[in-house]
Amino acid sequence: MSSAVFFFVALVATISVALFAQRWVAQQRKNRDRLPFIQIFTFAIVIIGLATVIVFFPDEWLPVPADREGEGLEWEIKQALLGFLGVVVSAAIAISASSLLGNAFAGFMIRSIPSIKTGSFVRVNEYFGKISERGLLHLEMETDTGELITLPNMYVTSHPLEVLPSREERRSVQVQVAIGYAVHRSKVARLLKEAAERAGLKYPMVFIKDLGNCAVTYESRGFLPRKSETLTMVARSKFLAMILDVFHENKIEVLSPEIGVSREISESNLIPERPPKFSPPKQEGPSPAELLFEKAKKAENKEQLEDRLQELKDMIKAVKTELDHVYEPERREHLTARMERLREFRTKLEEQIKEED
């Protein structure tokens, strides 16, 4: 068989492997966690394919002078091409190795922190959002405006990372307000606690943060009930609205008296009048918690379903192991029925995970 035939066989085999790899990569792209490994695999297939083409390239097609044929010059040319390919690959790896390895190690470090998981609210420097994806090289978060922000893992680990409590934990909502010295601090504290209770917050508390030149700065805090679906930003907005209502009902300005320095105020009331039949606007349509962070919410649900699916698989394996060592008819019947129920749950969970995709 001539070298040209060998070359065409190698070329067809290389193209077939490349097409198979491309199809496999397209199927695996849904799994974002494996995307870096898929990219490395694709890069390796390309390099192996080029090396195969160089090795099996027909000698008679190489530009070798007629008087030097048979001296092994053909293999020297192929070695030179393979050496050039190795230099290019080595340079590419050397250039990207520092950031690639740094982000990879930072990704492992982020995954080792239990509080940082898909669906967690985090603040990294000036970026705030809900984690929608934890990749090997990057962290993706969804902001309250629906934008997706991708941060390299090295950036995340090199800046202060604030993880907000989840809805299963007790979340604090805090606001600051400036009130003039003319209003006694005990009255301000009572009204702030009343506003917190109207906003649906528990365990309200009030602190004096600063004694300014013209006003006292108070900080009021309250806690959302555990497992509350209300977003912290929505709860804070409602808290501020209730502070305005409560203080205006008691004829107290929520405004620093420094405004008297900028313009003259005479016999004017800075407190807006309450409408005769005032009632807060009713919420129509989906709530903010249902509309915001859609992608992060789906990613969190999928991760929880996958964890539950793994638990079911472990339970099925344990029941199967126990079934192999039990010979009593009643006990075997009980274990068999339990295994069937677990398999039904597993099938339902697998269908739910496919729907999330």
Pairing of β 202-211 and β 216-224: antiparallel
What are 144-173's pLDDT values in tens digits? Answer: 777 888 899 889 888 888 887 766 566 788
Q: Are 143 and 92 in contact (CB under 8 A)?
A: no
**CA count, 13 A, side-chain hemisphere, 201:** 29
What are 5-51's pLDDT values in tens digits? Answer: 666 777 777 777 777 766 766 665 555 555 556 666 777 777 777 78
Of 225-234, 271-280, 289-298, 340-349, highest mean pLDDT: 340-349
User: What is the per-residue pLDDT for 37?
Assistant: 64
What is the distance between the terminal CA atoms of the chain, rounded to a whole angstrom? 50
Q: Is 2 exposed, middle or buried (0-12, 13-18, 19+ CB in 10 A)?
A: exposed
- 138 pairs with which residues across the strands? 152
- 128 pairs with which residues across the strands? 123
Q: Backbone phi, then psi, for 220, in 5-degree steps?
A: -115, 140
Averaged pLDDT of the chain = 76
For the chain, what is the radius of gyration of the CA atoms? 33
Task: Kindly state the average pLDDT of the residues 232-240.
Answer: 86
CA distance 122 to 107: 16
Question: Torsion angle of alpha carbons 27, 131, 129, 226, nearest 10°?
Answer: 140
CA distance 139 to 132: 8
What confidence tier does 261 reach under pLDDT thresholds 50, 70, 90? Answer: very low
Task: Kindly state the average pLDDT of the residues 265-277.
Answer: 55
Q: Backbone phi, then psi, for 179, in 5-degree steps?
A: -125, 145
**Is residue 102 within a helix (H) or strand (E), and if so which, with residue range?**
helix 73-111
User: What is the per-residue pLDDT for 25?
Assistant: 63
Per-residue DSSP letter, 68? G
pLDDT for residue 315 is more than 70: yes
> Of 201-205, 217-221, 262-266, 327-331, which gets the smallest average pLDDT?
262-266
pLDDT for residue 233 is more than 90: no
Six-digit token string for 138:
């990057």
Q: Are 153 and 107 in contact (CB under 8 A)?
A: yes
Q: Backbone phi, then psi, for 129, in 5-degree steps?
A: 175, -170
